[in-house]
Amino acid sequence: MAERISPTSLQHKQEHIEQPQRGAQKADTLVELAKLEPLTDGGLRTSQLLAQTLALAPDHHEARVLRERLHQMFVPRWHFPMLADKTRNNAYARAINAKVKPGDIVLDIGCGAGLTAMLAARAGAKHVYTCEQQPLIAQAAMQVIRDNGLSDCITVIPKLSHNLVVGVDIPEPADVVISEIVDTVLLGEGALATLTHAMHMLAKPNARAIPESGKLIAQLVQSDALMNLMRPTEAEEFDLSAFHRFASVAQLTPNDVAACALTPLGPASDLFGFDFTIPTVRSARTTTNLACGQTGTIHAVFVSFEMELAPDIVLSNGLQSDGHWGRTAFLLDHPRPAADGTRLTVTAQHDAAQLSLTIAGDEPALRASENATGWLKRALDLPEHLWKTPHVATTAKVRSSAAKNKEGPKKMAG
């Protein structure tokens, strides 16, 4: 028997067909809006539009791809191994317990997921003001802090610390300044400039700082595996050595370090010390002789940090330490034989955010096509001291494997 169709049931049926279509259209429109939205708000509005899209159409391919891209852009990937780094977390917990006293006003610079701010609240701070330069991260931290029932004693300020004003953003200067804004060589996340500003402008005189000091140290190391990783001499029997000029500084993940089995050839020597309670952005330079205590081959100068959070609570990314921080090795262009007593002279320099290292006598070999009468000198006609500089390597700004990208594109599209 034929189905009886009334005009109202037809209309009902059409609505059922049209509703998903209308939903899909609306989702597409929201994605187009998300792509046009400027990212000057740190991606907040774009994130909201993509969330609305996915609420309407959970399997919207483009919305999922864009949301992931947005997260990768504004939430550096090192946050996750950092938060899983139990040694780091525990050292901060102990230092904060030791140094934050009941009744303290705490300024936590760089809230991230909110861990150090929550540790300060748990240690008895009267109030914790925590600032975060990335709005998406600040927004998530507010949720984390709410979830842990600490919203009453922690205020998240979605701002760069340099833009905070006492009396506007925080009611009074801080008794304690907490920060964890160091990369593999301490300086690359701008800790010196940030803490110089904070200790002068946002903290009480003689305020406590966590970390309170740090130093950079250097050590000679041997590792054929490191050289093979960074400077493969041939591939399928082709000579690749002209490409090695780009591999002066190895930024190694903890996995790379484990795989390369770096062998120390001598003791570590101090390069620079930093007092974070009275920080300064002054540049510095030092020349030191790094010593070998055994035979082998010097392949690289390994540079690492030691950071004292509180008396006897030290975090490090040295050869023996675990943890999420990457490691930095300055490769020699010409590996040298080492024996007990062999020394290598290095000059280290730093500015507010970068480190460079010059290894004496390690100028890159001039190839026949680039010798003193070669194309570079002829083309530029530079005085000798400018074209024949010694080998200077600088560190990139990284924490572990993922480089930071503060600027990012201006919109998701294009």
Tokens of 185: 């060589």
214 touches ligand SAM (CB under 6 A): no
Contact string 121-150 vs ligand SAM (x = CB under 6 A): ----------xxxx--x-------------
Buried b (16+ CB within 10 A) or exposed e, 167-200: eebbeebbbbbbbbbbbbbbbbbbbbbbbbbbbe
156 binds ligand SAM, rule: CB under 6 A: no
Residue 300 class from Cβ within 10 Å (0-12 exposed, 13-18 middle, 19+ buried)?
Answer: buried
Give the interface segment with ligand SAM, choosing from 30-38, 103-111, 213-221, 310-318 (CB under 6 A).
103-111
Q: Is 116 in the site for ligand SAM (CB under 6 A)?
A: yes
In sequence order, the β-bridge partners of residue 355 are 350
161 binds ligand SAM (CB under 6 A): yes
Integer Cα distance of 333 and 76 in angstroms: 32
Q: Which residue is nearest to ligand SAM, using beta carbons?
A: 110
Number of other CB atoms surrounding residue 225 within 10 Å: 13
- 85 is a site residue for ligand SAM (CB under 6 A): no
3-class DSSP state of 43: coil
Which of 37, 104, 175, 180 is close enough to bind ligand SAM by CB under 6 A?
180
Question: Residue 93 or residue 348: which is nearer to ligand SAM going by CB?
Answer: 93
**Burial of 213: CB neighbours in 10 Å, binned 0-12, 13-18, 19+:** middle
Nearer to ligand SAM, 78 or 302 (CB): 78
Closest C-alpha among 74, 328, 353, 79 to residue 189: 353
CB 67, CB 54: distance < 8 Å: yes
Q: Is 317 in the site for ligand SAM (CB under 6 A)?
A: no
CB 280, min distance to ligand SAM, A: 16
Give the pair of three-digit tokens for residue 405.
């990208």
Stretch that binds ligand SAM, among 25-33, 104-112, 312-320, 347-355 (CB under 6 A): 104-112
Q: How far is the CB of 10 from ligand SAM (least distance, A)?
A: 56
| Residue among 30 and 115 whose Cβ is closer to ligand SAM | 115
Where do contacts with ligand SAM occur on this chain (CB under 6 A)? 82, 109-113, 115-116, 131-134, 137, 160-161, 180-181, 189, 194
